[in-house]
Structure 1
């Protein structure tokens, strides 16, 4: 049995924590809302209220409270899972630059002073630009969005630290547990990139891959995690809308489609992982 701290018990972090509990691990979990503390506690997770700041004035009461909470959150844990989104829309354009990277930088000294040996950083395939066509395990990221750029810089910041080992896992579009992008596209018109391939992964497989990484101690690695299922955006979202009895989305074919295929070669070959939900 290992003690694991999960920073961010949200859509993925909470069911992941429950799966780890079923595997007899002891779990510390964090949330940013008071209301969810009882949810974590009722699930058997030791709850912590943590909202990582962009700046930390060490002399302030808030900083001292944050430091004390982080100390207890990490104490005794061997592995830290970081699953907090960049959420750059919450900031102005001028302030958004490096806000997520700053949060990760604030976390690092606490990790260094703790019992943490391994960090699993939940990243995204958005670190690859849309013009990269086919992406394999050896493809170098070229992000074209602010969130993608900050996720890549955060990966590098963690993986360059020699005080702990970091594995980054870049998930594609997340679906499952009532999360289906077709619901947001239903009835919309003039949608771009109809012929671009989709790169998706089900929540069940996100959890399965993380469990495999922990079980096999596969650290100091980077994985691109999507299924091998790559229909076009138009094919996939039109079919899903029909299955859900939603208004069909309409796509704009007047411009060439831009998109990429993410390969899951390393997940399959190194982890020897078999997808539970291969066809989404």
Structure 2
């Protein structure tokens, strides 16, 4: 039986784990909340409490809290799905996420892991006015985007395992949609900027295809090929959900960024589930 470890069984990691288990895969999953261990166990996941630290060095018991060795043991694939959660530059934020990944790598190197799938973000590209492909130069504008770029590079250059980078656009799902936050808001910016979103169902299905087709040492953008303007899309969604319509600024946006997922469509032969958008 194939065994996979998922670091971060949250909004995406938990349903992903359930789907993999349905396919006959044994899954170990981590959480940073002790209260969620029973939720993982009830879902058929082998649960672990694992907390990465930004403490420099690899001192056992300091750089990572929890039984990281058992969490990785006997698994061939590690899926890393832990967001940086960095909103701004502070004196404490410099390379915090990067240090966590560096601490993790030493444990991966001595484990049975040979493949790593790192969940990243299209924020690594910034807001350039262009069609974005995997070949586009990285130009992050946020602190989290900058640290994702560094974390990607650290994983990719490591010769002890093969790494595939999966860069998701804005995440949406049945219980998560930005229109609920935007409803009733006024003078919203970037009126005619195109959306770059991906549904949870597509996220999970794409990860399954990468694993099934053994597409390692790759970089993929994952955004639905559906790019109406922010005004058109969120107005329509608010109407459909009987929410107060958001009001957008009359000023034109200077953001015209469109993320291309042609590589995923071509290499994985993947078709997005556009009926969910």
Normalised by the length of structure 1, the TM-score is 0.94
**Cα RMSD (Å):** 1.7
Unaligned runs of 5+ residues in structure 2 are: none
Q: Counterparts of 1:163 and 1:102 in 2: how far apart (Å)?
A: 18
1:161 aligns with 2:149: no
- CA deviations on 1:118-175 (whole Å, 9 max, x unpaired) are 0000000111111242102321221111111111111111001000000000000111
Is the aligned partner of 1:44 residue 2:41? no
* Structure 1 match to 2:86: 88
Corresponding residue of 2:28 = 28
Question: Residue 184 of structure 2 corresponds to which residue in structure 1?
Answer: 187
Give distance in 2, aligned partners of 1:59 and 1:138.
Answer: 38
Partner residue of 1:203?
200
| TM-score, normalisation: structure 2 | 0.95
Partner Cα distance (1:65, 1:100) in 2 = 13
Runs of at least 4 residues off by over 3 Å: 56-60
Match 1:74 to one of 72, 76, 87: 72
CA distance in 2, matches of 1:51, 1:92: 22
3-state SS, counterpart of residue 93 of structure 1 = coil
Unmatched tracts of structure 1, length 5 or more: none
Measured against aligned partners, the alpha-carbon deviations of 1:182-232 in whole angstroms (never above 9, x if no partner) come to 000111111110000000111000000000000011000000001110000
Count of residues in Structure 1 that have an aligned counterpart in Structure 2: 277
CA contact (8 A) 2:56 2:99 kept: no
CA contact (8 A) 2:64 2:104 kept: no
Whether 1:123 and 2:120 are equivalent positions in the alignment is yes
Paired position in structure 2 for 1:10: 10
